[in-house]
Each structure stands twice: as C-alpha cells, then as structure tokens.
Amino acid sequence: MDKLKAIQTFVQIADAGSLTSAAQGMRVSLPAVVRTLATLEIELGVRLFNRTTRKITLTEEGKIYLARCRPLLVAAEEADAALTVGATEPSGHITMTAPVLFGQRYVAPAVTRFVQRYEKVQCSVLLLDRVVSLVDEGIDVGIRIGALDDSTLVAQQVGSLRRVVVVSPDYINRFGKVHHPEELLKANCIRFVNASSNRWTFHEGAKQFTVPVTGNLDFNHVEPAVAACVAGLGYGMFISYQVASPLEEDRLQVVLERYEPVPRPVHIVYPHARLLPARTRMLIDWMKQTLSGLPLLKQA
C-alpha cells in the first residue's frame, strides 16, 4: 500500500464529507477510494469513519489520526514546492484577506513590496473585519487574529498580540491610575458596541475573570475609540497593534499589565487541499518573514 496516497485519500474523504465527493475530487473511481480506505483501516487496526447510508463521520480515532496526518501532508507539499519555488519567475493572481486595521498597517505594505519584487504577480487584498471562508470565497491566503476554529485550513503562527488596557496621561493626572481591574468599576471606560463591550476579561494567576465596565461613549469602530482615549475621556481595552502609534508617542500608556488576558495568536492560514502554486508559497513565506519580524509580534 502507498501509505502517503492512503493518507491523502483519508484526508480528502474527511474534508469532502463523503466517499463519492472524495473520489470526484481526486479524479479516481469510487471503488478505488473504498479499497484504499479499507486497506488503511485494516493496517491501522481501527475504524476511521462511521458509515451509514446517509452520511460518513469521523470516529474519535479518526479525528486523532486526521490531526496528525495534516502536518505530514503539508510537509510533503512544502518539500515539493521547495523544488519549484524560485525555479521560474512567479506569475498569476493571488487573493489575500486580513482584518481591516491590521491589514492597512502591516499586511498591505508587505504585499505592495512583494508585488514590486515580483511584477508578474497580481494580488487582490481584501480587508474585512469578519471571518472569511477561504474555500467558499475563493481566497488563497488569510491573516487571522485569535483562536482558530476551522480545521480545514493550514495555519502557521507568526506571533501573538496582547490585549491591553490604555489611558491617557491627562486622565491619570485628573483622576488617578487604576491598579486592579475592579477599580475600573468607578472609572469612565470607552467601549465597543458588541456582545462583550460591557465586560472586559482579565487574568490573575490561573484565574480568569471579567469586570463590568461603564462609560459615556460607545463606538462600533476602533479608531474613534482610540482617539477618545487619547483625548482623555477614559480607559479603553484594545489589541496592542490598534494603539501602537499613540503608545510609541506617549499619548497613551498601558495599565494593568499583570492582569492582561492571554495574548491572541496571529496566524497565516490557507487551504490545504491542493498543492500551492509557487506564487502563493512565495507570498506566504514573504508574509511570515515580514510579520514575524514585527516587534509587536515578538512575544509569541
């Protein structure tokens, strides 16, 4: 049995959700897919899927095996790609997505430099503050901030971002500085209009807790909320890149550092189901090098 081919077949079935769809995606016959899966299960001595006339689902053993197999296939693809990347000038179209503000400040400039370096490549950069389905929307590469819940994507972490509470020196001069999150109960806080805007999360040792916050200003966008904090109207909680400039310029300062929640990971993600074109592989490597070199992401 060709073990690598069998693993590829197993992963294809898991992603496609049916034997028939897997066979169509791999352009092989359905009996061939059935035989490969049966042989693999016999060799492993476990059942990887629960099969009924209507659907096929992973067993617990299948879920474990799938998690272990994905990195193997990625490594194999990367080994193949290493032989082709650089052999010819990359060309063709790439679509990439990232969160709006992070994309404006860090992703777009990096992609611009990439296209300047490789003039035959065309890039479309979509800056969106929503989780985009790369496969459904035909996107090649994405930047994700926070926990990932899409197991069908390959994810490479390039760093992590703190979630910080900030305040202006002027506000501190007028009202004093808080030293524990519970002191925010008596402070004016600038909030976002979303499900978690009224409660901020903190850590103290191994304990996670939330503090209800109130204030006289709510926003549904980051930049005016940051501006309000800079203007001395109160405390705000932001992802560190959102307040990088005013922090560097001493217009804001971080408080409650010892109580900060766990940093949010930053990943480059892309669909795993096909061998990446050289242009996409080169852009991923370019972005990895660029983003991992940012001081803001060094605390990964």
Q: Structural domain boundaries of the chain?
A: 3-81, 92-161+264-297, 163-259
Does this chain's domain 3-81 share its CATH topology with 92-161+264-297? no
Per-residue exposure over 224-251, b if at least 16 CB sit within 10 Å of its own CB, e if not: ebbebbbebbbbbbbbbbbbbebbeeeb
Rounded Cα distance between 213 and 263, Å, is 21
- pLDDT band with cut points at 50, 70 and 90 for residue 153: confident
Give the tokens for residue 140.
């090649």
User: What local confidence, expressed as pLDDT, does residue 298 receive?
Assistant: 62
pLDDT surpasses 70 at 254: yes
Mean of the per-residue pLDDT values for the chain? 88
- pLDDT band with cut points at 50, 70 and 90 for residue 276: confident
- pLDDT band with cut points at 50, 70 and 90 for residue 194: low
Rounded Cα distance between 178 and 181, Å, is 7
pLDDT surpasses 80 at 109: yes
Longest dimension (CA), the chain: 76
- Topology of the domain covering 163-259: D-Maltodextrin-Binding Protein; domain 2 (3.40.190)
Q: What is the mean pLDDT of residues 3-11?
A: 89
Lowest average pLDDT, out of 31-35, 130-134, 248-252, goes to 130-134
Helix (H) or strand (E) holding 288: helix 278-292
**Phi and psi of 166, rounded to 5°?**
-130, 160
Q: What is the mean pLDDT of residues 1-30?
A: 87
- CB-CB contact of 261 with 142 (8 Å): no
- CB-CB contact of 199 with 212 (8 Å): yes
User: What local confidence, expressed as pLDDT, does residue 274 receive?
Assistant: 55
Q: What is the mean pLDDT of residues 81-92?
A: 67
Identify which of 87-101, 127-141, 219-233 has the greatest average pLDDT. Answer: 219-233
* Locus of tokens 């197991």: 151
- CB-CB contact of 273 with 8 (8 Å): no
**Phi and psi of 138, rounded to 5°?**
65, 40
User: What local confidence, expressed as pLDDT, does residue 290 receive?
Assistant: 93
Beta strands per DSSP E along the chain: 49-51, 56-58, 92-98, 121-127, 141-145, 153-161, 163-167, 189-192, 199-204, 207-212, 217-219, 235-239, 253-255, 264-271
- pLDDT band with cut points at 50, 70 and 90 for residue 201: very high
Which long-range contacts does 291-295 make (Cβ < 8 Å, 24+ apart)? 291/106, 291/110, 291/143, 291/158, 291/159, 291/266, 292/158, 292/159, 294/106, 294/159
pLDDT surpasses 50 at 300: no
- Topology of the domain covering 92-161+264-297: D-Maltodextrin-Binding Protein; domain 2 (3.40.190)
What single DSSP character describes residue 230? Answer: H
Rounded Cα distance between 232 and 56, Å, is 58
Burial of 200 (0-12, 13-18, 19+ CB in 10 A): buried
User: What local confidence, expressed as pLDDT, does residue 85 receive?
Assistant: 53
- Topology of the domain covering 3-81: Arc Repressor Mutant, subunit A (1.10.10)
